[in-house]
Amino acid sequence: MPDSAASSRIQLWDWPVRLSHWGFAALVPALWLSAEAGRMDLHKQLGLVMLALVVFRLGWGLVGSTPARFASFLSGPRRVLAYLRGGTWSGIGHNPLGGWSVAALLAMLSAQLSLGLICEDSDGLESGPLNHYVSYDTAALARAGHELGFDLLAVLVGVHLAAIAWYRFRRREDLVTPMLTGRRRFAHRVAQPQMAPAWRAVVLAALAGALAWWVGQGAPLGAAA
Amino acid sequence: MKLLGKFVVGGALALVAGVAVAADAGALVKAREDNFKGMGKAMKAIGEELKAPAPAAAVLKTNAATIAQNAHRVAGMFPKGSGPESGVKTHALPAIWEKPADFRKRADDLVAAAEGLKLAAGTGNPAAVREAQMKVGGTCKACHQDFKARD
């Protein structure tokens, strides 16, 4: 074990990252259960919360703290391959492979939201808030895609959980605690990454919430809503 | 060889009939899916019209009439041999032919609800149309649960 002088404990995940992460973790099963139980009113409400959260996280990937930014954790194929081959990587947040796992999860959530917003059930009783912007046939395709999309999302979540277990038991790296506390200890000295100011998260949250609310109203474009 | 000739002719006829039935089943499944889709589209049109500040009575009436017209055809569109055993891709479950009385009841429920919707559309009262539409949707759902395979 290195002595304490050489190790460092830094603030890695800020509260917007942790809030959206655990929000996703709670909402995905809740959305699945509500749909399975036929509680479509609840499913749509939760879906709008998910929309706000995904928009918030995507925005935070652009203007948030350094470890939260896409620019800091999405790397090119050469670095990903080097990491896969066991090459050294001295970063602090998402590793070159994990970064793409985050991107895939966010992309899949976005796809599920897009399809869910326009789809309609085969009874004509329930439809997404933006269903009126598409035809009956498009809505039917979206429904099939939304069901398939959940299966793909479940696979990605499975890979995500398996990776966490792999790092825990094979690499002896605890990834869960930092996602809870936001802080991570390193055996070597690392610089504290730059954290974004809270007001930015507040503004972004307000914008994301407003967008979700507007979409929930059917995204009216004119005065006649 | 008269007897053999009869067998040959009989066999050929049976084969032709078999192919004809298969072709029929395909056309039949397509026709009844179109019939359901017609109702689905009309349900969507009514739902969208009801979101407007002042729903147009004509739109509600036309679509309610379509639903009622198609609803009446449902019970007659499931002859024996037009299920999954025909080899044609269909969401129709074998339960339709195993419990014909139950299925018939569901089809009649749809007709009754669709006639109710037509009446409500005639009054032009959006709230009444909405309520009647929910009833129609309820009959769709109830029947799909027991008799339609999920996608």
> In terms of residue numbers, what domain contains A118?
15-84+93-174+193-216
pLDDT (0 to 100) of residue A89: 82
Q: Chain B partners of A224 at a C-beta cutoff of 8 Å?
A: 52-53
The count of domains in chain A is 1
The count of domains in chain B is 1
The secondary element (H helix, E strand) that includes residue A81 is helix A77-84
Kindly state whether residue A149 falls inside one of the protein's structural domains: yes
For residue A218, is pLDDT > 60? yes
Among A124, A127, A143, beta carbon nearest to B140: A124
Structure tokens at A75: 């790397």
Kindly state whether residue A161 falls inside one of the protein's structural domains: yes
Residue of B44, B46, B50, B150 to mutate when probing chain A, most A C-beta within 10 A: B44
The secondary element (H helix, E strand) that includes residue A48 is helix A40-63
pLDDT (0 to 100) of residue A1: 46
Q: Give me the interface pTM, i.e. the ipTM.
A: 0.70
Nearest to A139 by CA among A121, A153, A156: A121
> Which residue of A lies nearest to B140 if distances are taken between CA atoms?
A123
Q: What is the pLDDT of residues A80-111, one digit of tens each?
A: 999 988 877 888 889 999 999 999 999 999 99
In sequence order, the β-bridge partners of residue B92 are: B148
The values of phi and psi at residue A160, to 5°, are: -60, -50
Contact present, B93 and B19 (Cβ < 8 Å): no
**Closest chain B C-alpha to A103 CA, distance in angstroms:** 29
Structure tokens at A109: 């959530």
Residue B44: how many CB atoms within 10 A of its CB? Answer: 20
Kindly state whether residue A25 falls inside one of the protein's structural domains: yes
Contact present, A14 and A199 (Cβ < 8 Å): no
Percentage of the residues of chain A whose pLDDT score is greater than 90: 76
What's the pLDDT band for A19 if we cut at 50, 70, 90?
Answer: very high
Average pLDDT taken over every residue of chain A: 91
Kindly state whether residue A224 falls inside one of the protein's structural domains: no
pLDDT (0 to 100) of residue A2: 46
Can you give the CATH number for the domain in which B57 is found? 1.20.120.10
Distance CA B12, CA A159 (A): 57
CA A105 from centre of chain: 6
Q: Chain A partners of B151 at a C-beta cutoff of 8 Å?
A: 122, 143-144, 147
Among B44, B48, B53, beta carbon nearest to A224: B53
Which residue shows structure tokens 């269903």?
A131
Contact present, A198 and A16 (Cβ < 8 Å): no
Taking chain B (151 residues) in runs of 10, the rounded mean pLDDT of each run is 59 54 80 94 92 91 97 95 90 95 96 97 93 94 91 64
DSSP assigned state of A133? G
Kindly state whether residue A108 falls inside one of the protein's structural domains: yes
In sequence order, the β-bridge partners of residue A55 are: none
pLDDT (0 to 100) of residue B19: 52
Distance CA A110, CA A9 (A): 33
Kindly state whether residue A181 falls inside one of the protein's structural domains: no
> In terms of residue numbers, what domain contains B65?
2-147
Among B41, B51, B141, beta carbon nearest to A218: B51
pLDDT (0 to 100) of residue B52: 85
Nearest to B52 by CA among A40, A41, A140, A223: A223
Kindly state whether residue A37 falls inside one of the protein's structural domains: yes
Q: What is the pLDDT of residues A108-118, one digit of tens each?
A: 999 999 999 99
Across residues A194-204, what is the average pLDDT? 95
For residue A122, is pLDDT > 50? yes
Q: What is the pLDDT of residues A179-191, one digit of tens each?
A: 999 999 888 888 8
Structure tokens at B25: 């089943």
Can you give the CATH number for the domain in which A161 is found? 1.20.950
**Closest chain B C-alpha to A107 CA, distance in angstroms:** 24
The values of phi and psi at residue A9, to 5°, are: -120, 120
Kindly state whether residue A204 falls inside one of the protein's structural domains: yes
Contact present, A93 and A34 (Cβ < 8 Å): no
> What are the helix and strand counts (H, E) for chain B?
5, 0
Structure tokens at A216: 């929930």
